[in-house]
Amino acid sequence: MPECPELHLAGRYINEACGGVVFSGGVERSAVGRGPEVPFRSEAYRISAASRGKELRLTLAPLGPGAPQDLVFLFGMSGSFRLCPAAQLPRHAHLRFLTRESPPRALCFVDVRRFGSWRLGDAWQPGRGPCVLTEYQAFR
């Protein structure tokens, strides 16, 4: 099961790989994904990530009018994120964010075992303590 360091690295990967990338459209969900539909659509938005313990939060921030949308992910046993060509999606890409460039790429939440999930909103799980990586003094 992905632990705190793996989620921290996943957040760094997303921020580095998607830092200057503009995404567009809605969020695509596979029929077998274990999370809700994401009611977000924008002509241009950016994605950033933050982690805390065993959770990772994505923020979808529109570049024009509109409110940001936050999603909090639990990776389960095999969840991860991958930025790949949209024409070559991984088999178990349960949530997809498409770039505006041509040819488009997709940031995908990939979860082979389907134990991972996501929920709408920016709140960490109730009772989630301080993060050992970013809030070490409070963690002690």
3: annotated active-site residue:
yes
Instruction: Please state the pTM of the whole predicted model.
Output: 0.89
Annotated catalytic residue 28: no
Residue of 6, 54, 62, 135 marked catalytic:
54
Q: Give the mean model confidence (pLDDT) for residues 92-103.
A: 95
- Report pLDDT for 29: 93
Per-residue model confidence (pLDDT) at position 43? 96
Residue among 134, 125, 115, 85 nearest 2 (CA): 115
Q: How far apart are CA 59 and CA 71, in angstroms?
A: 7
Q: Which DSSP category does 124 fall into? A: P
pLDDT value at 72 more than 90: yes
What domains does the chain contain, in order, with CATH numbers?
4-121 (3.20.190.10)
CA pair distance 8, 56, nearest whole angstrom: 8
